[in-house]
Structure 1
Amino acid sequence: MRFGAAGGTALRVAAVYAAAGFLYILGSDWLVEHGFSSDWRPGIQSVKGMGFVLITALGLGLICRFFIRRGMAQIISVNAALEKSRERFELIADNVGEVLWIGDPRDRGIHYVSPAYETIWGRSSDAMFSDPGSWMETVHPDDRAYTRRKIRERQRQSNVAEYRIVRPDGAIRWIEDRGFPVRNESGEVYRVVGVARDITEHRQAKAHIEELRSRFEKVIAAAPVGILVHRDFTPILANEALARTLGYSSADEILGLPDCLALFAEEERDRIVQFNRQRMRGGDPPKAYDLKGKTRDGSIIELENRVTVLDWGGSPAVCTILADVSEQRETERQLRKAQKFEAIGQLTGGVAHDFNNLLTVVIGNAGLLEQRLDGRDEDSRSLVDTILKAANLGAELTHNLLAYSRRQVLAPAATDVAALIEGMRLLLQRTLGEHIEIAISHERSIDDAYVDASQLQNSILNLCLNARDAMPEGGLLRIEMTNTRLDADADADAAQRQADVTPGPYVSIAVSDTGTGMPEEVVRHAFEPFFTTKESDRGSGLGLSMVFGFIKQTGGHLDVDSEVGRGTTIRLYLPRAETPTRPREEPPAAPAMEGRGELVLLAEDDAMVRDFVVLQLSLLGYRVMEAANGQEALALLEQNEDIDLLFTDIVMSGGMSGRQLADAAQRIRPRLPVLFTSGYTEASMLNEGWVEPGMRLLQKPFQREDLARMVRSTLDRDA
């Protein structure tokens, strides 16, 4: 057995006491036997007993004194430690912002509450000791049942309660209260201790964060564009818009992908990885660029990609915003194509206008020369015929150019396209040859189209000739006619390929062949003027461009579907006629009429054309005054009141157009007849506001008979 320091001291005192007692007994017994007579022995024995009692009392007193002093020292030491511990506890309790409390579950009393209670609750803690139940009255009425349940649970286990209190000033604060049961040696809970703190600001901040999170999630969910966040191409966030764009059932399906590179076309992945590597290393790759996306079914779409790097959970991640711009990019391509065609059309129209001026001189003078020869010199007459044929071919070329630029004169009317094309069967058979099989079909109740029948025949013939050239070994040419409708929901393929599709009912004419087909690059340029893949002696490159211009001027649309090795289908969409009418027939040309000496004021800025017209009018019996521009003509008009007719070109140099000259002349001479001429067509002049309906226009190039008829009819109409 091992003893402490006090036990060792007590043993030593007991040993001394035992030794002293033993010596006392031995010494007193020897004295009784040898130092005193028998008469003294009874008395000596009494004294001996009393001495033993005294020695025992002295020893016990010394032992008691030792233990009393030792115990007092320990008590003083323990009390000092307790006081020091109490001071530390009070230092903590007085300065901590949380409420420390101690309760007794047996009598539901409160043994201690730290000063922070008065700060947080705004109430004195005295009431807590005198009436512990009054504390529950500070709890918000809606939270009392919950709080009581939590207090009962603390007699079995620790828990955390969050409840509201109402301060005396009416302010409501949120409290987090942690309680812990304390058990004695027998396992009985005899105390409950806890810590309560004000978490109002914490809950407000948490609620604010939750609100921001909710807003963020709503924004992400409602965003019309796809949002993808990834780290090293492992997706960590995706929204439903991205899933819809790429054809996935939900955003979770995208998040389940091991690699989000699967969302992009294979040819894009190296570029994406390279840009991502540069971005994560602090480089500056493009922040916005287009790329090709790959949908769940494998189809390819065009995406606009905007990328940024952000902190995500303490680590950098890449946020990419993806928008499906397939339709937009296709529209932009169609718009650029339309603008290019418009620019080419303006150029070709201008060229045709100037060329018509030249042809007016050539054809007119050749006609005069032909009249003067009158069969007297067959060789010279043959040369004149050659000149006229060449000039007429040039006129046909300008006609095609004007058709492409949509400035030709059209006579649209309700046309039975089925009967018209069926009537071309024999012509097509003879033209295309026996090696081409022709199949023509149409719906039973095909609608009439509002179109110029003659120009439609030329267009169909052009398409069939192109189809024949694409089938040198023979093949099948199919012409199919159907009623159709173009709008946002129907026939989207055709609508998507053209930026200016007007919704509505159409008559569709599809010309298909089984020939060599065209690659995409050729299809993109097929309708440009002078573009051809044929040998230089087999085509001018104006056939399809003429068809394109004619269809557009008619108010229709055109679509091409071609595959190399399988053939081509060109589909014409013609506007449906509202009411069937008979095609308009051109009246027969009136015979040439001579002049009667009337004075004609000619305004023409082209010297050759001006000289030619002066000569022709003079030969027809008119007097002529000529001007090189509008200002000169206006001056002559002011000086000569006997002018009978103003004959003016519309587009002139010098700052005044023919229309402006005519308006000024009408202010001087309100009843003066006016005849316009132009290398542009009447349709383009009307569309662009150069002339108005009812005004008379002579189309260049014109021959002597056309000039005579128009001048005479203008003078007679306004006489």
Structure 2
Amino acid sequence: MSKDASAGETSHPDFAAITEAMTVEDARDFLELILENIPDVVFVKDQEFRHIKGNPAFFDVFPNKSRAEILGTTGAEDIAPDEVEVYLAADREAFAKGKSEAVEHITVAGQSTRTFQSKKIRFENANGTPFILGIAHDVTASRAAEEKLKSALQFQSLVLDHIPDAVFVKDEEFRIVEANENFLKFYPEDQRASVIGTTTLEQYEDNERDEFLEQDRKALETGFSETEESIQFPSGERRILFTKKARFEDEAGARFVLGIGRDITELVETRKANEVSIALLNTVFDTVSGAIIGLNDQRQVLMINNAGRQMISGGKKDPPFDWPEEITFLDPADMQPLESSHDPIARALVGQKIGGEVHLMTTASSSDSRYVRVTSSLVRSDASPLKTVVVLDDVSEAERNRQHIERQSRLDALGQLTGGIAHDFNNLLNTMQYALELIRREELSDRGKRSTEAALKSITRGSELTSRLLAFAKKQPARASAHKVSDIYSELKELVEPALEASIEIVFAEPEPEEMVFCDSGQLQNALLNLILNSRDAIMQHNKGNLIRIDSRTLEELPVDLVGTLDQVPLIPTDEDGLEERPDRVQRFVEIAVSDNGPGMTKEVASRALDPFFTTKGVNSGTGLGLSMVYGFVQQSSGDLRIYTEEGEGTSIKLYLPRGSKETGKEEPLPTAPLTYGNGETILVAEDEEFLLDQLSEVLKELNYKVIETSSGQEALELLQDGAKPDLILTDVVMPGGIGGFELARQAREILPEIPILYMSGYTGFTDEEMGEVIAPLLPKPSGPGITSYQIRRVLDQA
């Protein structure tokens, strides 16, 4: 641009003013500047289609040639042969028609193909010679993007049409603007075309329409929603779709809802069917009485039914949990845990199949052990975390019955042997007696007379002994008659007191004045003497204890553990009518208990104490027949025997014999005494023996009491500390866990100073000193509902 042209212009001249001031040279320079910097390809061709001019972008198309090599050529020799005709056809059209437009794909040797959108215009110079001005815009990248988008759209269309889900798009008015085939298939073919542009709400019932719109609104407002939708389509078919909806916006900012719905109708129906099946299976699983337990190889419980939870965790644990350490299998011989090589759980976990073995097992809810039949199966599925499934059936009653029958068989065998010996021995004694009687008739010296009399007295004593042996063997009837208990005590004292050491005190509790027992008095005295001497030996052998006590009481009814062994019906709830089913008349029994505060027995010793020849004394100190003889006597007398013992506290052995009468010998059944009912008071019961706790609670509820059940002193104390306020605490004396009945009573009185306490125990020899700070009445075990109800009412009324 010349100096003159720019002089005097303002700092911001407009374009027209600039161009008017340009000289031809300035215009040429300006054009050259544009051509040099424009990104489009610009070129000029002559009539022979030879390039005579081009800008830098033009020469960049042919990077392997210089400008001199390019100018004067058509360029056809440098591009792919199949592209030459399109390239030259556009040139011809421009010369013929004055202009042309084309999309040209140029592939220069050694280079990738480039795509140009070209415009070509014919012009003439001052001499009238025609030329072509070409301007080409490189659209390679945009065309590639278009192709990619086109492929993506084709792929999207392919996916949408073949995806198993129903896909749709709705606008802000919730009208369908796009839908795939799997969405449209829910509509009859003649309606599918009309779905687009509608809300489809007319196909829903009112309540469904509101829920459907709510999910659309939620997606539009929050960006996302998901739900199960039950849809009644125009075809009449109802389907269940699990639908996810998400909001998106287009370039203009318009909001849409993209919905993807999966048809889960069959899945829901299958799920419901499975839920029914699982519910049925769980019902069966939790109804069976046996414990079913699934364990992994880490000894963890992964599955367990209700019976199993009660058996091994007291119902307090849900899986998964470790096998409780306190649940062990014991050797009945010494009550010690079995070694792992004999433990059924350990054996099951190493792959052994247990087939109905009976084992003694501790339990979570009781200090007593129970017998269980163990069955196991190895789980062979690699997909299951279970290693083995163990089934535990409580067979305690059956096992104890078997042991009882086995013991009875041994006693019968012993009785047969004893009877045979006693019979033969009686014959010998009889022969000797006859011989001595004949000798007595002869003239004898004083010495001979004394010897003969001594021999006859020995024969008499021997005859009495064989009579007792025959009675034990049930080959000779016992001479049963009614005797006052006080008379039996009087004669027994004379036999017992000389046999006891001075360090041992014996107490005969005063019986009721008219209390009578129906049995052979001589055999009863021998039985009681045997029990007293056993207590003496236990005290002396272990240097523990100093008291032996003999008590008696009349039972107006039998406790549950004697029902079925004696001639009386149950007095616990047996049906919906509960205690109202008590009999009109009942046979009374006398309980005579010999108790000591000696070392007590282990469970193993107590379980075998009645076995013939079983003894804990030294080889030369006992035959093991004493308790067997006592047991045989009470059974022959239509009675029974029970052992109640607490290791470290003492033992009480109780004989149950029919009550006697002066008039009839054996007392006739008497009218049943009425029960004493409660007034809705609440009783906190602490008893570790599960069966007794259940039965006692049922009886108390029938007696119109509310019951809080606990299986240990610790559990009862925690309830009191948490605010429980019962009207009375009925507690066992000896319980596991460190807090027995006496300690529970002491701590309970610290929380509730006036709370009445009633102890219960099979061992009744506790002194006031042993009870400690809280001296309270003691309910003997066993006691029937009548005695229990009377004692509870008496304690409550005295509070």
Residue 211 of structure 2 corresponds to 146
- 1:16 pairs, out of 53, 64, 67, with 53
283 and 263 in structure 1: CA distance in 2 versus 1, 3 angstrom threshold: closer
301 and 175 in structure 1: CA distance in 2 versus 1, 3 angstrom threshold: same
Q: Distance in 2 between matches of 1:565 and 1:281?
A: 39
Q: How does 1:528-677 map to 2 (within 5 A)?
A: 544-560=627-643, 569-577=652-660, 579-581=661-663
Larger radius of gyration: 1
Residue type matched to 2:258 in 1?
A: V
Q: CA deviation at 1:337?
A: 1.7
Moved more, 446-455 or 281-290: 281-290
- 1:207 pairs, out of 258, 272, 283, with 272
- 1:136 pairs, out of 183, 187, 201, with 201
Does the alignment pair 1:337 with 2:412?
no
Contact 1:478 1:513 in 2 (8 A): yes
Q: Distance in 2 between matches of 1:539 and 1:289?
A: 32
Q: Distance in 1 between matches of 2:359 and 2:214?
A: 61
Q: Distance in 2 between matches of 1:15 and 1:296?
A: 109
Moved more, 144-153 or 171-180: 171-180
194 and 428 in structure 1: CA distance in 2 versus 1, 3 angstrom threshold: closer
SS in 2 for 1:145: helix
Q: Distance in 2 between matches of 1:477 and 1:109?
A: 98
Residue 447 of structure 1 corresponds to 515
Does the alignment pair 1:457 with 2:525?
yes
Q: Distance in 1 between matches of 2:414 and 2:554?
A: 32
- Give the TM-score normalised by the residue count of structure 1: 0.59
Moved more, 382-391 or 177-186: 382-391
Q: Distance in 2 between matches of 1:576 and 1:446?
A: 11
Q: Distance in 1 between matches of 2:432 and 2:198?
A: 127
Q: CA deviation at 1:173?
A: 1.8
Contact 2:42 2:54 in 1 (8 A): no
Residue type matched to 2:418 in 1?
A: T
Residue type matched to 2:202 in 1?
A: E
325 and 206 in structure 1: CA distance in 2 versus 1, 3 angstrom threshold: same
Query: What whole-Å deviation, never above 9, does each CA across 1:337-377 have from its counterpart, x for those lacking one?
Result: 22322332244335545655x45xx7369638845984257
SS in 2 for 1:460: helix
122 and 237 in structure 1: CA distance in 2 versus 1, 3 angstrom threshold: farther
Residue 590 of structure 2 corresponds to 507
7 and 213 in structure 1: CA distance in 2 versus 1, 3 angstrom threshold: farther
SS in 2 for 1:271: coil
- 2:180 pairs, out of 90, 114, 117, with 114
Query: What whole-Å deviation, never above 9, does each CA across 1:91-137 have from its counterpart, x for those lacking one?
Result: 4444443333333335x44333333345445554435437624x333
Alignment length (residue pairs): 531
Does the alignment pair 1:98 with 2:181?
no
Contact 1:411 1:452 in 2 (8 A): yes
- 1:348 pairs, out of 418, 421, 427, with 418
SS in 1 for 2:404: helix
Q: Distance in 2 between matches of 1:476 and 1:575?
A: 28
SS in 1 for 2:362: strand
Query: What whole-Å deviation, never above 9, does each CA across 1:131-164 have from its counterpart, x for those lacking one?
Result: 624x333345542221111122332423333212
481 and 284 in structure 1: CA distance in 2 versus 1, 3 angstrom threshold: closer
Q: Distance in 2 between matches of 1:565 and 1:182?
A: 81
- 2:340 pairs, out of 268, 271, 279, with 271
Contact 1:117 1:123 in 2 (8 A): no
Structure 2 segments unaligned to the other structure (5+ residues): 1-34, 46-50, 57-122, 331-335, 571-586, 667-799
Does the alignment pair 1:483 with 2:554?
yes
Q: Distance in 2 between matches of 1:251 and 1:412?
A: 56
Q: CA deviation at 1:558?
A: 2.0
Residue type matched to 2:408 in 1?
A: A
Q: Distance in 1 between matches of 2:226 and 2:616?
A: 85
Residue 470 of structure 2 corresponds to 402
Q: CA deviation at 1:553?
A: 1.0
Moved more, 83-92 or 336-345: 83-92
Residue type matched to 1:552 in 2?
A: Q
Residue 180 of structure 1 corresponds to 246
Q: CA deviation at 1:290?
A: 2.3
535 and 368 in structure 1: CA distance in 2 versus 1, 3 angstrom threshold: same
Query: What whole-Å deviation, never above 9, does each CA across 1:493-513 have from its counterpart, x for those lacking one?
Result: xx59x9779667431222345
Does the alignment pair 1:418 with 2:486?
yes
296 and 141 in structure 1: CA distance in 2 versus 1, 3 angstrom threshold: same
339 and 235 in structure 1: CA distance in 2 versus 1, 3 angstrom threshold: same
Query: What whole-Å deviation, never above 9, does each CA across 1:430-466 have from its counterpart, x for those lacking one?
Result: 6768786542113446632222334333433444555
11 and 270 in structure 1: CA distance in 2 versus 1, 3 angstrom threshold: farther
SS in 1 for 2:474: coil
Q: CA deviation at 1:207?
A: 2.0
Q: How does 1:212-223 map to 2 (within 5 A)?
A: 212-223=277-288
Residue type matched to 2:230 in 1?
A: R
Q: Distance in 2 between matches of 1:55 and 1:488?
A: 139
120 and 527 in structure 1: CA distance in 2 versus 1, 3 angstrom threshold: same
Q: Distance in 1 between matches of 2:295 and 2:623?
A: 56
Residue type matched to 1:418 in 2?
A: S
Q: CA deviation at 1:554?
A: 1.0
Residue type matched to 2:635 in 1?
A: K
RMSD over aligned CA atoms reads 5.1
Q: Distance in 2 between matches of 1:15 and 1:121?
A: 67
Contact 1:401 1:542 in 2 (8 A): no
Q: Distance in 1 between matches of 2:44 and 2:344?
A: 91
Contact 2:353 2:375 in 1 (8 A): no
Residue type matched to 1:114 in 2?
A: N
Residue type matched to 1:112 in 2?
A: E
Residue type matched to 1:152 in 2?
A: R
SS in 2 for 1:154: helix
Q: Distance in 2 between matches of 1:103 and 1:541?
A: 95
Q: Distance in 1 between matches of 2:350 and 2:521?
A: 67
Structure 1 segments unaligned to the other structure (5+ residues): 20-49, 585-719
Query: What whole-Å deviation, never above 9, does each CA across 1:579-631 have from its counterpart, x for those lacking one?
Result: 542769xxxxxxxxxxxxxxxxxxxxxxxxxxxxxxxxxxxxxxxxxxxxxxx
571 and 262 in structure 1: CA distance in 2 versus 1, 3 angstrom threshold: closer
Residue 367 of structure 1 corresponds to 434
Query: What whole-Å deviation, never above 9, does each CA across 1:406-428 have from its counterpart, x for those lacking one?
Result: 34323434432123323543454
Moved more, 535-544 or 448-457: 535-544
Q: How does 1:66-77 map to 2 (within 5 A)?
A: 66=136
Structure having the larger proportion of residues in helix: 1
Residue type matched to 1:264 in 2?
A: T
Residue 299 of structure 2 corresponds to 233
Contact 1:173 1:198 in 2 (8 A): yes
Contact 2:186 2:235 in 1 (8 A): no
Q: Distance in 2 between matches of 1:54 and 1:505?
A: 152
SS in 2 for 1:132: coil
Moved more, 463-472 or 318-327: 463-472
Q: Distance in 2 between matches of 1:482 and 1:431?
A: 26
Query: What whole-Å deviation, never above 9, does each CA across 1:269-326 have from its counterpart, x for those lacking one?
Result: 8628987676556555678552533537877555544444446974344443445555
Residue type matched to 1:440 in 2?
A: F
Moved more, 534-543 or 443-452: 534-543
